[in-house]
Structure 1
Amino acid sequence: MAPKSLANFVGTHLLPFTNPRVVCPPGKLRATGRPNLIVATPMRSGTHVLIDLILNNMPGYRNRPLYVDLDQCVKQSTTDRDLLAQVTPDAGHVIKTHMPLSVPDSMASDPAITDLLAQGLVITVRRDRGDVCRSLARWHGIALEEAEAEYGPQYDRFWEFWTGRPQIALSFKDLFAPEKMRQTLADLAAASGTTPAKRYNPPPANTTKNRIYANKMMTRLAGRHAPRVDTTIHTLKF
């Protein structure tokens, strides 16, 4: 088995990312008194690149779990288990969402959600529509034409929902521009009352595959205590 395939096998079956050190659910939240940082993106737009940039450069947001999957909190909630109730406006976590894609239609109008958005700091990432469709075609192993037909309208729907809402708007290229991200992270730290890391930690280079595998393993084992956080699900699939 190739090293990349072996690493993804281990990550899927032996050290899954869905553990309480990494993500809620299944992790439980404890409010920190800070605002939430809400990463709102279409799929394949650098969601986890941005999450990791925040966690590796804003130590005040390294919590247990490392981040919240808001969409799963909504989808996995039941009458006896209200996961969304944990995600209060002062939870002080990094929160991921692809809303309004692949979530219940009622989610966007839920008062708890609208309150979270109003009181949190929303950061969006815009990646070129064609690049997103190409990435999704590779991700799902389908033809580009099929990806464009299925996911292109979803991309449009996402931006129709978020355009005009208060947000810090980034482009996908910004994530790999050190000066831009240093300033963005400094602004987020100031707005959230936290202190940025003394040294900027950029996204890892694609040439450091073994280091990436090690970072992913340590993140899933040690959570917020990992030397370098890597919350990505699969490796180097842009």
Structure 2
Amino acid sequence: MSKSLLFDLKVLEFKLKESLEQYEKERIEENLELLKSSINELCSFIVKKENHLAFFQTQENENIRIYVTSIRDLSTKILGIIEKEEARKILKDTNSCFQYGEELELTVKREIHDYEMTSSDHILFVGSGSMPITAFTIVKEIGAKITCVDIDKEALGLSKEVAKKLGFHDISFENDLSNLTLEKYSHIIIASLVPLKCEILEKIRKKLPIRTKLILRYGNELKEYLIIQFVKEK
């Protein structure tokens, strides 16, 4: 079982690396589609139940951990590129097929219900990226105030332009979490692809009032290691 999983992970890593190298050499539509194809293949691999079982049985294998860490990091970088390109397409009035956004909207709607978000709340979204669909969905659904934070200045600039283009004029955008007054937020959402989550939590937890609801997004088992940069508490 471990040999089969290890082989599959090696193949996935190779395809992700190759597609990323091709895109970085020549940023054309054909190579962007290659990036999307490699991510789609990774997603198909993740959702297969037999792969979850194989990972659960072999997750202590050091070679497997090395490959899943590499794949996780590669996929995070590739997803960031795809988000930026999709944002640029929206700004250029080009047709965009951002399928990830449709699934994310459903997740956000569940969070609105589960965490009792209302129009009077002020929400902080950490790791908003180039396409802050979470923020857009919250504004559309309940009209709450929301502040987006991202350390990637290029992504933040694109998200501002996309928000303006789509008519979301009341969303605030910030580059540095440490400059914010955290006490004013009713909810804080930390996105799946944010690295070093536990370090961020350690920095902000003492500043948060008891009433603040913290939503930490992460995957489970195989997904957690392959897609999400999640650092466990030591």
Q: Which structure exhibits the higher relative contact order, with contacts defined as CA atoms closer than 8 Å and separated by 6 or more residues?
A: 1
How high is the TM-score relative to the length of structure 2?
0.29
The structure that is helix-richer by fraction is: 2
How high is the TM-score relative to the length of structure 1?
0.28
| Greater radius of gyration (CA) | 2
